[in-house]
Chains A and B, each alone.
Chain A
Amino acid sequence: MSTALSVSDLHVHLGESHVLQGVSFDVPAGGVTALLGRNGVGKTTTIRAVLGLVPRSRGSVTVLGDDVTRLSTHAVVRRGVGYVPEDRDVFSGLTVEENLRLAERNGHARYELVYELFPELRERAGQRAGTLSGGQQQMVAIARALLNENRLLLVDEPTKGLAPALVTDVAAALERAAELTTILLVEQNLRVVQRVARDVVVLDAGRVVHTGPAQELLADPEHVRRLLGVHGGGH
């Protein structure tokens, strides 16, 4: 099985804090790999470091066979990487349609796919993104990443703060997206992880402490509790 993303001995310092302390893991091509861990262990920083949004102190990042360690963020993304940030980061002053148009990278934008997954976005194309609900903003954020034919999606806590019904919709969208591309998913909701993830990488204190099949980990509640501080089966 080929590797979509390879992170090797990645170190990141944010101010005085040594957030990532030699993170290494591979994401196999196809399907969803979940990046798990307690709050503050460096999951979001790992995603941001892969993209070059935070400076990497040491280590290397290889995306789809290309070493992108020294590339700027836009150049990494142009290698075929989509990003759904933790706080959605939609452009509130732009309309939904403008948010999507901004994300277009070539003439092959997949509007049909995006509107099939999120038909509401078509109806709200002219509405300013800042006036959307949290769930609708999350749809825009995911739609932006799916608009291009990305070969790797980095998705950071897409269900955070969403109502249960919307969590189901987002999980369904991730399942559909996983048929088309590889996803590295940061997610706290273990029900979602159980539903969509094939593999897991668990971080603790800036280091990888576990890798393996998702179902194997989630089937062991004691192991889940020890690694993540929660009971298996979701919350």
Chain B
Amino acid sequence: MSTFVLLTITGLGLGAMYFLVASGLSLIYGLMGVLNFAHGAFITVGAYLAWWFGEQAGGGAGTRLLVGGALGIAGGALVAALVELCLIRPLYGRPVEQVLVTVGLALALGALVQGIWGADAKPFPVPSWMIDTTTILGANVPNDRFVEIGAAAVVLLGLTAFLRYTRFGLVIRAGVENRAMVSALGIDVRLAFTIVFALGGALAALAGVLSGVYFSVVDPGRGTSLLIFAFIVVVIGGFGSIGGSAIAAVAVGLIQQYANYYASSGTGDLAVVLLLALVLLVRPTGLAPKVAH
């Protein structure tokens, strides 16, 4: 029983990170039709900026995580907004060129991070209370798992409220359905594009910070490995659906953990791909397609 509890909470923690990456990815594609392969780079940049700013701030691990995390998230948002304004905006309506640019950017940003800070993993500041465990039904669960799950839950509630109760949220939800008609109502949908890109960058950077806590290190390949599963989550959840992404992220995180333990190590990834294939066969548009709520 204790093993099952530990696997479940660890799976939820992993799912939380997938959700943070997938929600931005999903909104960006749903609203703008941009398949953003550079999203993984936002994760890496956010994680490295958090580590670097934390080192500059000094102090205890808690202070470094807090200061570095906040600035890393802000940095992720800024980088994403600049990418949208400088590289994506001139290419609207040219999806092939957009994909090529985001793929190139992913490679370039990854190389830049590696060029500045090296290829070796960096130790991430993790406060001792996060490393400590809490016993639940006999399972000793590391406390950082609760932080990751809590952060994703807050983001889910915040995003839902943002989309439901704000003017920008209304524009984004409508734009996911039909952005030409949003323009035809006199709304400059380009501003919504930039906001969604920045929001996606901030959430990706938050995932980068939390992945630093989860693994206790940051490395240049972090973004790429998370992005692959985030793409799977987005496809399963339905492009443009935050709720769909949340459900799919939890499913992917749990299945990965259960399969790795109960089948054999390494089968978790295979199980996730099988789930993807099953969803594509039964419900090709995902669980909750094209409605941002």
Contact = CB atoms under 8 A, between A and B. Distances in A.
A144 B185 contact: yes
Given A91-B174, A92-B177, A98-B170, A105 B184 contact: no
B265 interface: no
Interface of B: 170-171, 173-174, 177-178, 180-189, 291-293
Contact of A102 (B170, B180, B188, B291): B170
Interface of A: 51, 53, 72-75, 77-78, 83, 85, 89, 91-94, 98, 101-103, 105, 144, 148
Contacts of A51: 184
A94 B185 contact: no
Contacts of B183: 53, 72-74, 77
Nearest to A106: B186
Given A89-B178, A93-B293, A101 B184 contact: no
Contact of B188 (A74, A89, A93, A94): A74
Contacts, number: 58
Given A51-B184, A85-B181, A74 B189 contact: yes
Nearest to A84: B184
- At the interface, is chain B mostly helix, strand, loop or mixed? helix
A7 B148 CA distance: 58
A103 B187 CA distance: 8
Given A72-B183, A83-B184, 16 more contacts: A51-B184, A53-B180, A53-B183, A72-B188, A73-B183, A74-B185, A75-B188, A77-B184, A85-B181, A89-B184, A93-B177, A102-B170, A102-B187, A105-B185, A105-B186, A144-B185
Nearest to B185: A103
Residue of A77, A78, A83, A91 ringed by the most chain B CB atoms within 10 A: A91
A68 B125 CA distance: 56
B143 to A, nearest CB: 38
Contact of A94 (B170, B186, B189): B170
A85 B184 contact: yes
Contacts of B186: 74, 77-78, 105, 148
A89 B189 contact: no
Give the 7 A-B CB pairs with smallest separation, nearest first.
A77-B186, A73-B183, A93-B291, A89-B181, A91-B174, A78-B186, A74-B183
A204 to B, nearest CB: 27
27 contacts: A53-B180, A72-B188, A73-B180, A73-B183, A73-B184, A74-B188, A77-B184, A77-B186, A78-B186, A85-B184, A89-B184, A91-B178, A91-B181, A92-B177, A93-B173, A94-B170, A94-B173, A94-B177, A101-B170, A102-B170, A102-B171, A102-B174, A102-B185, A102-B187, A103-B185, A105-B185, A144-B185
